[in-house]
Amino acid sequence: MKLQPGMVAPHFEAEDIFGKHIDLRAYEGKLVLLSFLRNGGCALCNLRIHQLIQRYPELHARGLEILAIFESPVASIKQYVTSRQDVPFPLIADPTARLYNLYGVEVSEEKTQASAARVDTPEVQQMLQDAAAIGYELMHEEGSNFQRIPADFLIGPDRRIQVAFYSDLIGDHLSFVEIENALSVYK
C-alpha cells in the first residue's frame, strides 16, 4: 500500500551501517527526508547521494535531517558508497526490504523497463555523465533487486508524511525545489 500525505509515518528502528541505533521517534520535532534508494552499486543512486551530500550543509542548517536506505547489505554500501564519498547522514542497510515493505516502496519490472527505454534521452545521458564524473558507472550489484524503484518521503515534525514521492523511473527522486518548499513551511 502506498503511503499518502497526512498519514503518520510508519515507525521503525534500525542500525545504520556503522552500528548506530536509529529510531524514527528520535526525529520528532524535525523535518526528515527519508530516501529509499536501490542498491549500493546503483550509479544513479550514488549520484543522488552525492547531490544530497553537496546540499547537506545548507539543508541541515535549515533544519532538515536525512536518512537514506539501501536494499543492500552493509558490506556493499561500504564498498560502493562510503568508500568513495563521505556521507554526513545515516545510511541504513535493508537487504531484506523490511523498511521498503513498511513504506510500500515498489518493485516494478514495468518501471524498470520504462527506465531502460529512456537511457538514450538527453536527461538520462546527463545523469549518467554526472555519475561517471564522480566515479560511478552502470553496473549490476550481485544479489540486488534490479527492479527496485526509489521513493522519497518528507516527514514533518509531527511525524506525519508531508510528501510521499514514489518514483516512476529508476533515476527519479523528490526535487530539491519540493524539499526547499517544505523547509520554508517549517521555518
Domains of the chain listed by start with CATH number: 13-185 (3.40.30.10)
pLDDT, tens digit, for every residue of 31-50?
999 999 999 888 888 999 99
Identify which has the larger pLDDT, 132 or 77. Answer: 77
Mean of per-residue pLDDT scores for the chain? 90
Q: Are the C-beta atoms of residues 107 and 147 closer than 8 Å to each other?
A: yes
Q: How far is CA 105 from CA 2, 59, 113, in A?
A: 7, 24, 17
Q: What is the pLDDT of residue 167?
A: 92
- The phi-psi region of residue 159 (left if phi > 0; otherwise alpha if psi is between -120 and 50; otherwise beta) is left
d(CA 49, CA 65): 14
| pLDDT band with cut points at 50, 70 and 90 for residue 131 | confident
Q: Which three cell numbers stand for residue 82?
A: 562510503
